[in-house]
Amino acid sequence: MDVIETTTTRSGPVPSIRAEEKKRITPKRPRDYVAWAVAIAIVAGLVWTAVTNEKYRWPVVFSYFTTQTILNGLLVTLLLTAASMGLGTLMGLVLAVMRMSHQRPVSGLAQLYITFFRGTPVLVQLVFWFNIAALYPNLSIGIPFTDISTPVNVNAIMTPMTAAIVGLTLNQAAYMSEIIRGGFASVSRGQHEAAESLGMSGFTKLRHVIIPQTMPAIIPATGNQVIGMLKETSLVSVLGVADLLQSAQAIYARTYQTIPLLIVASLWYLIMTLVLSVPQSMIERRFSRSTRTRLTPAATSAEPGAGQLVPPTRESLL
């Protein structure tokens, strides 16, 4: 720095530092300022209307924000999300295994399931399950080829809550199975071959070699599904399940405070998705850094530690 100063004072316009040492500057372009101006204008406009438009009734929003009905609805929404995610993942795993089977009838059946449940709207599926008694009024649950069986009145067990869980679970299973299958597809053939050539059994190979490598693909995608499911549960309000949205609707049906209560529900959904997105983005960052699975010659012949990070799923069992 002082080199610059001494040279400038001494020799005026003569170049003060050597060309090799000069900083390189990219001038800001007009569009950079325009983008900022537009963004600020939009946000300011939104805030302005939210504050000045009386009909938002913010005091009403705050007064209902933590009422018992809303909190109960919140709990139902969370339970629905957890139940259908958990069951859907288990069932998705079964479907994925079926889908990957070399036996055509088995994989075909799974394919059929996935096509059907991904090809029809969840809302329709939910209403369908709620009305399933119209198709099968009585079911008989029992052990085949024995006399042990109990008749079940479908109408009685298919409560709105059951229909909601069944509908969301069956739908989620179709999506989860594709995610799980994708995870397995991301592991190269060579990994299977290496494990098999060591004499590993199918189970050992899956447990110690393949499944740990599927996780970087499966876990972040599953996180996205959880967030999606949280919002999707709002569809069950059409069945009359007292979830967050339905609770808000129940209140405004009495008080006619439609907008403020929809704001209450939206804020809660927003809070929950934001809370969930924190671990989600941590997981994503952790897994997206991996340089693994398919090892290209270029990547593998790189110098040791040349910008390559430690793979995230560590096998600590050995």
Q: How far is CA 284 from CA 184, 187, 310, in A?
A: 18, 18, 15
Contact between 41 and other proteins (CB under 8 A)? Answer: no
> Taking the C-alpha atoms of 231, 233, 237 and 240 in order, what is their torsion angle to the nearest 10 degrees?
-160
Stretches 32-40, 55-63, 78-86, 290-298: which one binds other proteins (CB under 8 A)? 290-298
Q: Pick from 299, 257, 243, 314: which is nearest to 71 by CA?
A: 243
Amino acid sitting at position 50? A
Q: Which of 72, 79, 159, 212 binds other proteins (CB under 8 A)?
A: 212
- Answer for the pair 239, 127: CB distance below 8 angstroms, yes or no: yes
Contact between 318 and other proteins (CB under 8 A)? Answer: yes
Closer residue to other proteins in complex, CB, 209/235: 209
240 DSSP 8-state letter? T
Q: Which of 56, 111, 208, 277 binds other proteins (CB under 8 A)?
A: 208
Which residues are paired to 315 by β-bridges?
Answer: none
Amino acid sitting at position 261? L
Q: Which of 202, 258, 285, 288 binds other proteins (CB under 8 A)?
A: 202
Contact between 16 and other proteins (CB under 8 A)? Answer: no
CB of 175 to other proteins, least distance (A): 26
Contact between 155 and other proteins (CB under 8 A)? Answer: no
Q: Which of 6, 120, 201, 258 binds other proteins (CB under 8 A)?
A: 201
Closer residue to other proteins in complex, CB, 5/196: 196
Closer residue to other proteins in complex, CB, 228/312: 312
Residue 149: enclosing H or E segment and its boundaries?
strand 149-153
Contact between 196 and other proteins (CB under 8 A)? Answer: yes
Q: How many CB atoms lie within 10 A of CB 241?
A: 25
Contact between 283 and other proteins (CB under 8 A)? Answer: no
Give CA angle at 128 (122, 134), nearest 5°. Answer: 175
Contact between 313 and other proteins (CB under 8 A)? Answer: yes
- Answer for the pair 87, 165: CB distance below 8 angstroms, yes or no: yes
Closer residue to other proteins in complex, CB, 12/307: 307
Site string for other proteins, 156-195 (x = CB under 8 A): --------------------------------x-xx-xxx
Q: How far is CA 275 from CA 10, 88, 234, in A?
A: 61, 22, 18
Q: How many CB atoms lie within 10 A of CB 70?
A: 20
Write the CB contacts of 14 (distance below 8 Å, at least 6 apart in sequence).
7
294 DSSP 8-state letter? S
How many residues form the binding site for other proteins (CB under 8 A)?
A: 38
Closer residue to other proteins in complex, CB, 26/197: 197
Stretches 1-9, 36-44, 127-135, 305-313: which one binds other proteins (CB under 8 A)? 305-313
CB of 185 to other proteins, least distance (A): 16
